[in-house]
Chains A and B, each alone.
Chain A
Amino acid sequence: MINNKKKKKNKTICFIVIIMVLVILLCYSFNLERNNNVLENSLKTITTALNQLVLKPLENYNTYKEIDQSKSEVVQNNINKALEKEVVELKKLLDLKQAYTDYKSVNAKVLTRNKSYWFNTMTIDKGIKDGIEKNQAVVASQGLVGKISKVYKNSSEVKLITADDVSYKVSVLITSNDKDAYGVLGGYKKEDRTLKILEVDKDSDIKKGDAVVTSGYGGIFPRGIYIGNVSEVENDKYNLSKTLYVKTQIDFNSIHYVTVLGAKK
């Protein structure tokens, strides 16, 4: 009888301990900004190699293989436009003779998309050994795709600009004829594949077709990476700011090759 009671007590303690361990593990795993530990890095290296092996036979079906997406006309034109403007501004304001003109780029192949659905991330086949670092910009031939959110030895995780994580905001610049305006990316509308831009100055004169590029503020994305063109402008409920819808040329569901923009050359 006493033995049974003791066994029951031990079982309850065991159960409580297991639940506590599980809760701690859950909280640790859900910390999206955590650093990867050695074990995770090593295991990820093995699973990435297996992943590449599985996808090897499918590679031949894609014609965009090994193309540097940052050399795309759409991306290059807009980077150049923004850079030219930046050069003029810098010369004018700081009297500098030179400014940066290009970034080191690394081509990468998409291995898997995040199956947990909510995070809008994907894994690419380049990592620390290829010079990839956290927060570097990722582009496709039609414009900005996202940023590097996690780096492993031979793979990295890319967080797409369509993600609406509470802590993930991208500052953008809307270049109109009159005056530039700034805003923040705030989600993706699947019906017409548009990105939503919030907190745009209500007095700004923004028209349909104006180009939207990264502003360079926040220190994550370089200034001038093309995102898309304004397709709709509307005032918010209280007429305090404007909300824009930007038509992006990227089909986020079928990205297979990307280019990571590294450090300045």
Chain B
Amino acid sequence: MTSIIITIIAFVLDIIFSNILPFMREDLSIFTTLLVPVTVYLVYPLYKEKKNYLIYSLIVGIVYDLIFTNLLFIDAIIFLLIGVVTIKMNKLCKINSYLNILYIVGVVIMYEVLLALGIGILNLVPITIPHVLYKIINTLLSNIIYGVVVYFIIDNFPKRIYINK
């Protein structure tokens, strides 16, 4: 339930910010948000079962597609991959506040690179590496701030359960 509340808050914030912040190509704000994909990574400790967590990732991806991109399953697949990588990462080592920042950066890079690769391979829009880097750089700041705050809340959540423990 907590994970759903956090995800709804992320959706609400993303909707509001998408209406306020610039979104034109090469004309982004340094505070460009990508809160929902980051939330998918952050809420992992709140799930007892890996299967439930992966189903959650998939559903959030589909809803994200419906609200923001109209791309049907693209974000669902990317979110599922973020979920799988999150499970692996949590197996490898216990996440602390410093590693958390590193993982948020990793999630943002993973999301942007996978999306750009898909679009680039199918030649839908001209994509260049500097463009992808520009998008990533402008998306980091607000997501790190958001990620640190949510991590702090989840870390101090009384019923926290780690799947990998």
Name A's B-contacting residues (CB within 8 A). Answer: 22, 25-30, 32, 34, 40, 43-44, 47, 50-51, 54-55, 58, 110-123, 150, 157, 162-166, 188, 190, 252-253, 256
B69 to nearest A CB, angstroms? 5
What's the nearest-Cβ distance from chain A to residue B12, in Å? 5
Known: A112-B18, A118-B127. A29 touches B72 (CB 8 A): yes
Picked from A40, A116, A163, A256, the residue with its CB within 8 Å of the CB of B19 is: A256
- In this complex, the member of B28, B75, B124 whose beta carbon has the largest number of chain A beta carbons within 10 angstroms is B124
Docked Cα-Cα span, A22 to B124, in Å, equals 19
**A–B complex contacts, Cβ < 8 Å, 30 sampled:** A26-B73, A26-B74, A28-B73, A29-B71, A29-B74, A30-B122, A40-B66, A44-B70, A47-B63, A47-B67, A51-B67, A54-B15, A55-B19, A111-B19, A112-B15, A112-B68, A113-B18, A113-B19, A115-B14, A116-B69, A116-B115, A117-B23, A122-B23, A150-B70, A157-B70, A162-B25, A165-B124, A166-B125, A190-B25, A253-B21
Give the interface centre of A40, A58, A115, A119 by most chain B CB atoms within 10 Å: A115
Q: Min CB distance, B146 to chain A, in Å?
A: 15
Selected contact of A115 from candidates B25, B34, B63, CB within 8 Å: B34
Whether B125 pairs with A164 at a CB distance below 8 angstroms is yes
Rounded to whole angstroms, the CA-CA distance of A112 and B33 in the bound complex is 13
CB-CB under 8 A from B14, the residues of chain A are 115
Size category of the B interface is: 35 or more
Does B116 sit at the interface, judged by CB under 8 A? Answer: yes
Binding site for A on B (CB under 8 A): 11-12, 14-16, 18-19, 21-28, 34, 62-63, 65-75, 77, 115-116, 118-119, 122-127, 135
Task: For the complex formed, measure the closest distance between the CB of A54 and the CB atoms of chain B, giving whole angstroms.
Answer: 5
Q: Which residues of B contact A25 (CB under 8 A)?
A: 72-73, 77
**Known interface pairs A166-B124, A166-B125, A188-B25; A22-B77 also in contact (CB < 8 Å):** yes
Shortest C-beta distance, A21 to chain B (Å), equals 10
Q: CA–CA, A123 to B64, complex, Å?
A: 13
**B115 CB contacts on chain A under 8 angstroms:** 116, 118
Number of A-B pairs whose CB atoms are under 8 Å? Answer: 119
Q: Assess whether B69 is in contact with A253, with CB atoms less than 8 Å apart.
A: no
Question: What separation, in Å, do the CA atoms of A73 and B86 have in the docked complex?
Answer: 54
- Distance in angstroms between the alpha carbons of A111 and B23 in the assembled complex: 13
Chain B residues with CB under 8 A of A51: 15, 67
Q: Within 8 Å CB of B71, what residues of A?
A: 29-30, 116
Question: Which residue on A lies nearest to B125, using beta carbons?
Answer: A118
- The CA-CA distance from A251 to B150 in the complex, in Å, is 34
* Distance from B51 Cβ to chain A, minimum over Cβ atoms (Å): 14
In the A-B complex, list the 7 residue pairs whose CB atoms are closest, starting with the nearest: A29-B72, A253-B22, A113-B23, A115-B68, A190-B27, A25-B73, A47-B66
Nearest A residue to B67 by beta-carbon distance? A47
Given contact pairs A30-B124, A54-B16, A58-B19, A162 touches B24 in the complex (Cβ within 8 A): yes
User: In the complex, which residues of chain A have a beta carbon less than 8 angstroms from the beta carbon of B62?
Assistant: 43
CA of A165 to CA of B25, assembled, Å: 12
Which residue of chain B has the shortest Cβ distance to A123 in the bound complex? B70
Residue numbers in A under 8 Å from B22 (CB-CB):
253
